[in-house]
Structure 1
């Protein structure tokens, strides 16, 4: 079996055509055998009397013919090789065009496949997104505060959704806040499943507050898929550095800051996998629109009915 070096050596070897060998042999036979016999027999030329100069001239003539023939033979060989090269070049161009066409078709096929894959991936994303639970705030059900008279230790309670803040007894250092209870109704507009747990994430000082969070299903359905939930937040106040009963403005400012600091984590059991999401209560864009500018200061809330503010002035959104 030939290796690469044998193939290279075979290609580099000088090959003389058989035709050239045969013509050269015939010409030498004619020049050194036939022509001398004819010269001696017909022209009575005695070869023994031929001088060295005449013999050299004869040899020069003989090999001049061979040299001229060699030139012609080389020209014919090169012409043939050039024709073969042109033919191979044409075939190579044809093959290249065919290869370009094949590559173009392959490229179009890959583009079509990529488009199909992209559409399938987008469809998968839409399907996956549709399975994720998305909770929205429907309304605040309860917003109660409990406070204690410091001297007679009588406990009082007021529902800020039903009664005005102005009914509170604002007397400096006479009352202290003891408990805040908030309940909100949320609706799942996303994927099916059920809420299995809620955890409060409000960043409060444990020296001031003790917080607990729970939820109830607001549905009479007996299936595993529920949409509405009532989430309850209860904060027991041990002590506070701020006297919120100094004035109604201070109390209102405290309430607004407090409600916008509420954060919680939902543990949702979907039909295919569980989801954990963090939500926070924030002021709705509708409220800012009502106040006609953003980043509203707390003092501007005095222009809005407290019940309307708590019921419809807030929403919840996901945060990381």
Structure 2
């Protein structure tokens, strides 16, 4: 094995971790792949000479590439509106896309639009991947105290205030997650079991195909309307919406829709699809609490000791 092949093998051993970092920062699998490829190109040009800790070096490069990409998004934001969802990726099954949509990276993506790119990079690196703050400071070109403040501000911005007690929120989340699973699977019977008889669905007209009513009433009509638009569910993830459990739809890292869901008991009594840019900006979006184990990807050399 020559030196280039050896370097490539060392890079491949770290690709999974690098992609996980980039995906959680960018919220887009395609953009994450681009960032990782750029890291390989830079490593290939450098030849590995003088790099003592390859994991740290590659994490720094990928993070800075992601930071540049996030800054570019901020400078040239997109305001997608209406029925503009990407095609299903070739070879990607619904299970794979559901895992992608449910990832913490996607949830963070939506609510971290408000924090600055540097804040986002800081909280993802430190809180999700255990990167020490001295490394975060170097990556973001900040002092150590400033790097800690970046992460602290991001945490504050992404943590919402629930509008209901914890036990009630947990019950609502179970109902909303069951609703999402049924919508993804196009399971009409399951949806009928989750919807109140007098449920109402309202939607911004631009989000609907021609001829579909903006308002539907009754469990059968709402269930059938949900099945009709089930392609959108593959990009949905639970989140706090104005303090209550709802859903966000953000394909390829761009927020398209928010579902404000009303739950009473164990039934969905109403949901509204919000899509207009002005209305989306008026919503308070935040992450739901997730188990600690879900925040760290399975990858080699992922512990702080590797630094």
TM-score, reference length from structure 1: 0.19
The structure with the largest strand share of the pair is 1
Q: Which has the higher contact order (CA 8 A, sep 6+)?
A: 2
More helix by share: 2
> Which is greater in Rg?
1
TM-score (norm 2): 0.19
